[in-house]
Amino acid sequence: FEENKVRYGKRRIKAELNNRDYKIGFKKVRRLMKKFNLKAICSRRKYKSYKGTVGKIADNILNRNFVATQPNQKWTTDVTEFSGPFGKAYLSPILDMFNGEVIAWDLSTS
């Protein structure tokens, strides 16, 4: 358990014990882990934003040139996802590229 950076959970411990000819069930392994205070560290799933077909992509008319010489010449927007005890929230500000001022914004839960 310790040699494998605390990554062995009840399934892997049971499989390893079975490989060493100890016949033991999941519940027994779970009880022993609880008795000896062994808790596996679970790695989180990698976030994947792709959920299906991609919608229409706007033309790249700025060509990554975000410098504006006067106000209201170039506006940009993006969506940022926040998560917390309240669930997920999405913030979408509209920025003026001349001075970075927030022209408008919207906060939504969907």
Q: Which pTM value belongs to this model?
A: 0.50
Q: Given this model, what pLDDT does residue 40 score?
A: 79
* Nearest alpha carbon to residue 26 among 38, 5, 42, 9: 9
Instruction: Work out the number of other CB atoms within 10 angstroms of the CB of residue 68.
Output: 16
Distances (CA, A) of 62 to 69, 76, 92: 14, 10, 19
Range among 13-17, 49-53, 74-78, 82-86 with highest mean pLDDT value: 74-78
Return the axis-axis angle of helices 26-35 and 10-19, rounded to nearest 10°: 110
> CA nearest 81: which of 104, 43, 107?
107
Among residues 57, 70, 59, which one has the least CA distance to residue 99? 70
Look at residue 5 and tell me whether its pLDDT is greater than 60: no
Q: Which of 48-52, 78-82, 90-94 has the lowest mean pLDDT?
A: 48-52
CA distance 42 to 64: 40
